[in-house]
Amino acid sequence: MTPAIFGISGLELSADERAFFADADPAGYIVFGRNVESRDQLRRLTDQLRAVHGRERLLITIDQEGGRVQRMKPPVWPAYPSGGAFDALYDVAPVSAIAAARANAHALGLDLAEVGITCTHAPVLDVRQQGAHDVIGDRAYGHEPLRVAALGRAVLDGLARAGVVGTIKHMPGHGRTHCDTHKAMPTVTESEDELERDLAPFKALNHALTGMTGHLLFTAWDKHNPATQSPFIIEQIIRKRIGFDGLLFTDDLDMAALSGTVPQRAERAVAAGCDLALNCWAKMDDMVGICQRLPVMGEKATARLDRALAGIGPKGDVAEQAALIAKRDALLALVTA
């Protein structure tokens, strides 16, 4: 098995993709807006992926947070609020905010399960910082680590009720970024003591089945390598200090924060300790190059993948969704009541 997550080019698999995926045997896939048209179409696409591998349980992922980051959009699917909506409610009624976040994630998870998607890259556990770049912004659940952890825990729980695995991101913390990692490499210069605040939500939810790194340079820990490609940060900070032993994805390797070719970026990330290289854009040359450079998936990574796949459950009853959304909306209305 290739320790990579690959994208798909269109609304269905091409003949070349079918042949390549069958030969490469990647650990999983990621769905983007270009792959999404209708419920029936998306279910056919995920069924095609399962047929390539001949197994029902397959890691098929998506960035479906709500707010600005939502690949499955209205009018086919409901619009989901950003993390900031639950942060605002927490100011008024913390218990209600947690209940609203759980109901929202459960409803969102039912959408994913219905179309065969088994993992979403949420919740965002980055602690929002004043004056930081807005690439995280209202995607975050607040400025306080305990609040972020409480709401993030509710999101993981809601997704699990729908049979979907959640991904905690972006370790070891993306809230201090001064630029968009899609475009440039941020350098974080705060001390280790200051960075403890960023680690706190990840420590609280270190039992999550999957997690994701961020492409940031933390000078307190590694002056030369971004977190995604830093053996010290992955082993000493993410694995040991945070205590995360789940399946570790890179963030998207196509981001301009990283240097080198995409296959080189994947090789460095996996060598540093990431379990899976996330390559989103379905460029065949890049995917072939990744397969040529990466080793066969190791025992520890395979065991973590197996644990994540075991977290995929029955999809639940999509008929529950209307009641869940109504509950969420009634609770969020407390902010203006």
Contact 252, 226 (CB under 8 A): no
Residue 252 has pLDDT above 90, yes or no: yes
Give the tens place of pLDDT for each residue, 117-143.
Answer: 999 999 999 999 888 787 899 999 999
At position 157, the amino acid (one-letter code) is D
Positions of E strands within 126-201: 165-171, 187-188
Question: Which two three-digit tokens encode residue 54?
Answer: 């001949």
Contact 173, 199 (CB under 8 A): yes
Q: Where are the domains of the chain?
A: 2-335
- Report the C-alpha gap between 141 and 151 in whole angstroms: 7
Question: pLDDT class for 314, splitting at 50, 70, 90?
Answer: confident
Give the per-residue pLDDT at 319: 86
Active-site option among 23, 47, 91, 182: 182
Give the tens place of pLDDT for each residue, 77-116.
Answer: 999 999 999 999 999 999 999 999 999 999 999 999 999 9
Give the per-residue pLDDT at 184: 84
Q: At what angle do helices 145-161 and 94-114 cross, to 10 degrees?
A: 40
Question: Which two three-digit tokens encode residue 335?
Answer: 């902010």
285 catalytic residue (yes or no): no
Contact 6, 282 (CB under 8 A): yes
Q: In a 3-state reduction of DSSP, which class is residue 110?
A: helix
Residue 315 has pLDDT above 80, yes or no: no
Q: Picking from 53-57, 222-226, 287-291, which range would have the lowest pLDDT averaged per residue?
A: 53-57
The partner residues of 115 in beta bridges, in order of sequence, read none
| Number of CB atoms found within 10 A of residue 8's CB | 24
CA distances from 327 to 65, 154, 331 (A): 19, 15, 6
The partner residues of 61 in beta bridges, in order of sequence, read 30, 119
Give the per-residue pLDDT at 67: 95
Residue 219 has pLDDT above 90, yes or no: yes
- Report the C-alpha gap between 208 and 311 in whole angstroms: 10
Give the per-residue pLDDT at 227: 97
Question: pLDDT class for 337, splitting at 50, 70, 90?
Answer: confident
Residue 151 has pLDDT above 80, yes or no: yes
Give the per-residue pLDDT at 182: 84
Task: Provide mean pLDDT across the span 50-73.
Answer: 96
Give the per-residue pLDDT at 197: 96
Give the tens place of pLDDT for each residue, 160-208.
Answer: 999 999 999 999 999 998 887 888 889 999 999 999 999 999 999 999 9
- Report the C-alpha gap between 203 and 125 in whole angstroms: 10
Question: Which two three-digit tokens encode residue 230?
Answer: 């830093």
Active-site option among 126, 138, 245, 251: 251
Give the per-residue pLDDT at 10: 97
- Report the C-alpha gap between 70 and 59 in whole angstroms: 19
Q: For the chain, what percent of residues have pLDDT higher than 90?
A: 90
Give the tens place of pLDDT for each residue, 319-334.
Answer: 899 999 999 999 999 9
Question: pLDDT class for 241, splitting at 50, 70, 90?
Answer: very high
The partner residues of 31 in beta bridges, in order of sequence, read 62
- CA nearest to 246, candidates 132, 161, 119, 104: 119
DSSP state of 316: -
Residues sharing a CB contact under 8 Å with residue 62, sequence separation 6 or more, in sequence order: 30, 31, 32, 71, 72, 112, 117, 119, 120, 121
Q: For the chain, what percent of residues have pLDDT higher than 70?
A: 100
251 catalytic residue (yes or no): yes
Give the per-residue pLDDT at 327: 98
- Report the C-alpha gap between 161 and 165 in whole angstroms: 10
Question: pLDDT class for 296, splitting at 50, 70, 90?
Answer: very high
Give the per-residue pLDDT at 178: 84
Handedness of CA 265, 269, 270, 275 (dihedral sign): negative
Strands 69-70 and 64-66: antiparallel
Residue 223 has pLDDT above 90, yes or no: yes
Question: Which two three-digit tokens encode residue 97?
Answer: 């905010």
- Report the C-alpha gap between 146 and 130 in whole angstroms: 17
> How many helices (DSSP H) and strands (DSSP E) are in the chain?
11, 12
| Number of CB atoms found within 10 A of residue 285's CB | 10
Please tell me the CATH code under which domain 2-335 is placed: 3.20.20.300
Give the per-residue pLDDT at 139: 94
CA distances from 239 to 1, 92, 224, 288, 320 (A): 23, 35, 20, 29, 37
Give the per-residue pLDDT at 25: 97
Its pTM surpasses 0.85: yes
